[in-house]
Amino acid sequence: MSDTITLVNPATGRAFREIPRAGLAEVDAAIAGAVAAQRAWAALAPVARADALRAFARVVEAHVDELAALEVENSGHPIGSARWEASHVAQVLNYYAAAPERLIGQQIPVAGGLDVTFHEPYGVVGIIVPWNFPMTIASWGFVPALAAGNAVVLKPAELTPLTAVRLGELALEAGLPAGLFQVVTGSGSVVGQRFVSHPDVRKVVFTGSTEVGTDVAAGCARMLKPVTLELGGKSANIVFADADLERAAASAPGSVFDNAGQDCCARSRLLVERSVYDRFLELLEPAVQAWRVGDPASPDTDMGPLISASHRDTVAGFLDDADVAFRGAAPGGDGFWFAPTVVLASPGDRIAQDEVFGPVVAVLPFDDEADAIRLANDTIYGLAGSLWTENLGRAVRVARGVKSGVLSVNSHSSVRYATPFGGMKASGLGRELGPDAAEHFTETKNVFFATD
Ligand code: NAP
Ligand code: MG
């Protein structure tokens, strides 16, 4: 294996940078440094850790444009999205900066003494991140982990390491102690696996494919390490006949084509009540045509290229035997472009079951509320979902009936740092974000003080 990783700009297909590929010795050195840094970090006053995270947030805020430009070049994200992502990292830091002073234990009534619980940090947490949202997904792990008193070693995806590397530098610039938050670039089979096998990494957070996540979980089980898994999805966007069809159609392209469909929460199955199926497709077509695919550096762009040539081949393979209803436009040239595509599907089709991770949506009709819930649940995944209806009772029933971790009624929101995020079934284990995320990076210790 080469000792560097070559980065390619997905909008041009051209290589633009080499970065180091860490070997085992470098990973082990990073973990050893993290062990030492964590002891000092956990010993600080809670307010000192809070202040350090607020300082980190301010430095990230001051570098939003730089981080966004790196994501445009490395990942092909549209500049507007990339700026949102960088600002989101600062907001996550500000939100969890409150956590060090609020990791409140319990005082439990017992006979003969005083009983209290403490939220103790694990020590070193290993975080493994995919290429689709390099900054945001990293921050959902490293921020609450640091807030809870842990050190973090972070492995970005080989394809998209630049913003994570820069965040590691900004942490030092903000005054976080050396060793506390380290970004180690390299392959999953070396760096990622070492987080799983190293005895001093006491918790692992993995975001990526269900296949690799299952292996990571098995490895963590052998080491008796807790693991959080954020995996794949095949989320449903359910449109009932009584919905505001214009709004539902106008928002459907963004719900699945955002980030070129390389979004674990993509609403890649569009379930439409049969009585409005034809009408809905008529409304959807102009919305798809209006979805602007092009230069990610342009503020008018809705969608950039796919991440790599091989990923584009994988996505294209899904269209081999598909019934394409209509497609949007995409530029030509050397970038990894793919036009947004709407496919008519039946429940058992591969396009209706497997995660495409590209700008392809499968449309399926349903008959009634029970049929909609049954179809929505007819996949191994259970990450997100949306439903469109003007009937409040139905909205509650369907939201409770769909087995997914994150649902949205009359909108497509999935991620807010203040609310919990994560999947059911093959989409994952555990939750990130929300009020409790820092606690998920602690173990409860119970201490009894005898008074008699
Ligand atoms: P992936 O192939 O599973 O890789 C994810 C990360 O794991 C990368 O950093 C990868 O490193 C590393 N890795 C690979 N093999 C490993 C191993 N044996 N041990 C430890 N780490 C290993 O996933 P991807 O193709 O990058 O990302 C796409 C997938 O992520 C999709 O399925 C998507 O749905 C899922 N995803 C889920 C969420 C969520 O929150 N639920 C969010 C985003 C993405 P290298 O590739 O650098 O070697
Ligand atoms: Mg992969």
pLDDT tens for 26-55 read 999 999 999 999 999 999 999 999 999 999
SS (H, E, C) the chain: CCCEEEEEECCCCEEEEEEECCCHHHHHHHHHHHHHHHHHHHHCCHHHHHHHHHHHHHHHHHCHHHHHHHHHHHHCCCHHHHHHHHHHHHHHHHHHCCCHHHCCCCEECCCCEEEEEEEEECCEEEEECCCCCHHHHHHHHHHHHHHCCCEEEEECCCCCCHHHHHHHHHHHHCCCCCCCEEECCCCHHHHHHHHHHCCCEEEEEEECCHHHHHHHHHHHHHCCCCEEEECCCCCEEEECCCCCHHHHHHHHHHHHHHHHHCCCCCCCEEEEEHHHHHHHHHHHHHHHHCCCECCCCCCCCCECCCCCHHHHHHHHHCCCCCEEEEECCCCCCCCCCCCCEEEECCCCCHHHHCCCCCCEEEEEEECCHHHHHHHHCCCCEECEEEEECCCHHHHHHHHHHCCCCEEEECCCCCCCCCCCECCEECCEECCECCCCCCHHHEEEEEEEEECC
Residue 122 has pLDDT above 90, yes or no: yes
Which domains, and CATH codes, for the chain? 4-231+427-450 (3.40.605.10), 236-416 (3.40.309.10)
Residue 2: per-residue pLDDT: 77
Model confidence at 109: pLDDT above 90: yes
pLDDT single digits (tens) 333-389 = 999 999 999 999 999 999 999 999 999 999 999 999 999 999 999 999 999 999 999
Query: Which atom of ligand 1 is nearest to 131's Cα?
Result: 26
Pocket test for ligand 1, best of 158, 223, 264, 308 (most atoms within 8 A of CB): 264
Q: What is the pLDDT of residues 228-253, one digit of tens each?
A: 999 999 999 999 999 999 999 999 99
* pTM: predicted TM-score of the whole model, two decimal places: 0.97
Q: Quick one: average pLDDT of 426-442?
A: 98
Ligand 1 atom nearest to 215, measured from its CA: 18
The residue written with tokens 């299952």 in the block is 214
**Which tens digits make up the pLDDT trace of 137-178?**
999 999 999 999 999 999 999 999 999 999 999 999 999 999
Q: Which atom of ligand 1 is nearest to the CA of 229?
A: 41
Residues having CB closer than 6 A to ligand 1 are 128-133, 137, 155, 157-158, 187-189, 192-193, 207-209, 212, 215-216, 230-233, 264, 355, 357, 383, 423, 427-428
Mean pLDDT on 250-279: 98
Share of the chain above pLDDT 70, in %: 100
What is the overall mean pLDDT for the chain? 98
Region 73-98 average pLDDT: 98
pLDDT at 413 over 90: no
Ligand closest to 128 (CA) is 1
Q: State pLDDT tens for residues 269-279.
A: 999 999 999 99
CA 167 to CA 185: how far, in whole Å? 13
Using most ligand atoms within 8 A of CB, pick from 212, 220, 310 the residue to mutate for ligand 1: 212
Name the more confident of 452 and 94.
Answer: 94
- CA 31 – ligand 1 centroid, Å: 21
Average pLDDT over residues 306-319: 98
